[in-house]
Structure 1
Amino acid sequence: MTFQVTVTPSGSQFSCEEGETVLSAALRAGVGLPYGCKNGACGSCKGKIVEGSVTHGVHQQRALSDAEEAEGGSLFCCARPNSDLKIEAREIVSGGDYPIKKMPSRVSKLEKLSHDVMLISLQLPANERLQYRAGQYIEFMLRDGKRRSYSMANAPHLDDQITLHVRHMPGGLFTDQVFSTMKERDILRFEGPQGTFFLREDSNKPIILLASGTGFAPIKALVEQLIHTESTRPVTLYWGGRRPEDLYMNSLCEEWAATLPNFKYVPVVSDAQPEDGWTGRTGFVHRAVMEDHAELLNYQVYACGAPIVVDSAKFDFTAMCQLPAEEFYADSFTSEADLVA
């Protein structure tokens, strides 16, 4: 059985097969619904069922609570139609203009950026280039059928390689391999580009970039894109970590702040120890933003990192700082543990 899905307010329509998720059907049809993890954990694809009904698969309560679902809320990545649907969602006009490909790549470089963060450079096939937007991610296809997602840490114009920042999660199916047995010239297969986190270049609003941990990777790509396009928009980067060593490319950020006329950098450490000698900002990184910007009415915010950081920032910025909800763009870095309801 095939169901018809109509998106409001855009009016876009697409068909959804029985048992298929709304998001999968939209992507297949080239309709740009926002999404992130595709596993019911991050909440990026949240919208509303205006007419019809769906059955939701396993998902996190923080991404869609029972109360929200009772009021018509839906996570389109795990919602399967029971009827024709009319849904309310913020359609992304230019989100799906690069084809999603399955590609082989060769590990060309492994470099430890800190004790638990590895930079991986991937050499792409000589006759094929990955087209993507700064901020998007790829999914590695592992031998057991599982997948792991990582954001590109470089803007697409730079070279024929893509770089990733991988944090070691002890016991992690992929990251244990990265930090133990992976070596240069290994072949990895991935699918991408994925996600709808990318710079909205049709605005002149000042930008707040908010990163926690390796959420810096796609933020770095956004900065490189802004530099490439010679943007004059004011940009302030807030990067948070537990200890100073978690800000593993701090010197690069300081270089940007010293050389880019419209760029400011605010590093924030939440759990500095006496031996760190830290004299900078402390506390929660999104709170540092609020201390500096009581009002965000005329800003755009791009946030990446741990779900608790992204969720807290969105709630507090919109509730307390007047940030329009539609100007908060995020990529929540869910781990395998986050995908278990």
Structure 2
Amino acid sequence: MTFQVTVAPSGRQFECDDGETVLAAAMRAGVPLPYGCKNGACGSCKGKLLSGSVTHGAHQLKAMSPDEEKQGLALFCCATPHTDLAIEAREVLAAGQFPIKKMPSRVATMDKVADDVVVVTLQLPANEKLQYLAGQYIEFLLKDGKRRSYSMANAPGDDPQISLHIRHMPGGLFTDQVFGTMKERDILRFEGPFGTFFLREDSDKPIVLLASGTGFAPIKAIIEQSIHLKSKRPMTLYWGGRRPQDLYMHALCEEWARTLPHFSYVPVISEPQPQDGWNGRSGFVHRAVIDDRLDLSAHQVYACGAPIVVESAQRDFSALCKLPADEFYADSFTSEADLV
């Protein structure tokens, strides 16, 4: 049995198989609904159910609460239909312009930039090219059928390599391997690109970039893409960590601030210790944005990192800084420990 899904306001339609989620069917049909984690953790794919009925699979309450479901909202990555559906969702047309494909890759380099962060550079096959938008991610295909997602940390181009920033999560199925047994020349398979978090190039609004931890990776790709485009849009990066060593490419950001006329950088440390000798901003990174910019009504915000950082920024920027809801773009990093 199949069900027809109609998307408002575009009027586009696609078929959803029995037991298939709305998001999976949309991706299969090339209908670019917004999404992030695809596993019920981030809420990026949430939209309005205008007619029809669905059943939601396991998901986090922060992604969609029971009250939101009662109000007619649906989390499309977890929603399977029982009837034909009419849904309301903002399509992200640029997200579907490049094919999603499975590719082998070889570990070219592994550079440990912090005690718990390694930059892994992957060499792609000579006869293949991964086309993607700055900010998107790939999923590693593990032997047990599980997947792990990591954002590209370099802007797209002709380089046959992609760079990833991987933080060690002790006990993590994949990161224990990365920090324990992985070595250069190992072969890894992945699928991508995925995600609707990427630089919107059709605007001239000033940009606020908000990163926590390795959420810096896709933000770095967006900055590099802006440099490649010779963009003159004002751009400010707020990068937060618990300790100064968490800002593992601090020197690069300082160099950008010195050399790029439209770029500024604000590092923020939440838990500085006396031995750190930290003299910069401290506290929650999104609060530093609020302290500096009470009016974000004419800005775009790109936020990436820990879910609590992204959620707090989205809530407070809207409530306190007049940021339009449709100008907040986010990628909330989730882990297996975060999932229901």
TM range (shorter): over 0.9
Matched, 1:270 2:270: yes
TM, length-normalised to structure 2: 0.99
Secondary structure, counterpart of 2:95 in structure 1: coil
The residue that corresponds to 2:202 in the other structure is 202
Matched, 1:49 2:74: no
Secondary structure, counterpart of 2:326 in structure 1: helix
The equivalences for 1:249-264 within 5 A come to 249-264=249-264
Structure 1: distance between partners of 2:268 and 2:11 = 43
Matched, 1:180 2:219: no
The equivalences for 1:1-341 within 5 A come to 1-157=1-157, 159-340=159-340
- Bigger CA drift: 5-14 or 133-142? 5-14
Listed one character per residue, the Cα deviations across residues 243-298 of structure 1 (whole Å, up to 9, x for unaligned) are 00000000000000000000000000000000000000000000000000001000
Secondary structure, counterpart of 1:179 in structure 2: helix
Listed one character per residue, the Cα deviations across residues 87-107 of structure 1 (whole Å, up to 9, x for unaligned) are 011111111110000000000
Pairwise CA distance, 1:37 = 0.6
Pairwise CA distance, 1:239 = 0.1
Structure 2 segments unaligned to the other structure (5+ residues): none
Structure 2: distance between partners of 1:208 and 1:96 = 25
- Bigger CA drift: 150-159 or 74-83? 150-159
One-letter identity of the residue aligned with 1:159:
D
Pairwise CA distance, 1:238 = 0.2
Structure 2: distance between partners of 1:64 and 1:279 = 39
Listed one character per residue, the Cα deviations across residues 295-323 of structure 1 (whole Å, up to 9, x for unaligned) are 10000000000000000000000111110
Secondary structure, counterpart of 2:60 in structure 1: coil
Structure 2: distance between partners of 1:195 and 1:338 = 19
Pairwise CA distance, 1:154 = 0.2
Listed one character per residue, the Cα deviations across residues 136-155 of structure 1 (whole Å, up to 9, x for unaligned) are 00000000111100000000
Structure 1: distance between partners of 2:129 and 2:157 = 11
CA separation of 1:126 and 1:158: change in aligned 2, threshold 3 A: closer
Structure 1: distance between partners of 2:312 and 2:183 = 38
Structure 1: distance between partners of 2:109 and 2:92 = 34
Secondary structure, counterpart of 1:164 in structure 2: strand
Pairwise CA distance, 1:160 = 0.8
One-letter identity of the residue aligned with 1:51:
S
- Bigger CA drift: 8-17 or 62-71? 8-17
Structure 2: distance between partners of 1:78 and 1:98 = 24
Structure 2: distance between partners of 1:148 and 1:302 = 22
Structure 1: distance between partners of 2:334 and 2:48 = 23
One-letter identity of the residue aligned with 1:145:
G
Structure 2: distance between partners of 1:82 and 1:187 = 42
CA separation of 1:3 and 1:55: change in aligned 2, threshold 3 A: same
One-letter identity of the residue aligned with 2:182:
M
Listed one character per residue, the Cα deviations across residues 218-258 of structure 1 (whole Å, up to 9, x for unaligned) are 00000000000000000000000000000000000000000
TM, length-normalised to structure 1: 0.99
Structure 1 segments unaligned to the other structure (5+ residues): none
Structure 1: distance between partners of 2:44 and 2:226 = 24
Pairwise CA distance, 1:12 = 1.2
Structure 2: distance between partners of 1:109 and 1:122 = 7
Aligned-pair Cα RMSD in Å: 0.6
Structure 1: distance between partners of 2:115 and 2:268 = 19
Pairwise CA distance, 1:158 = 5.6
Secondary structure, counterpart of 2:93 in structure 1: coil
Structure 1: distance between partners of 2:320 and 2:3 = 40
One-letter identity of the residue aligned with 1:12:
R
Structure 1: distance between partners of 2:53 and 2:298 = 37
Matched positions, count? 340
One-letter identity of the residue aligned with 1:155:
A
Secondary structure, counterpart of 2:94 in structure 1: coil
Secondary structure, counterpart of 1:94 in structure 2: helix
One-letter identity of the residue aligned with 2:289:
V
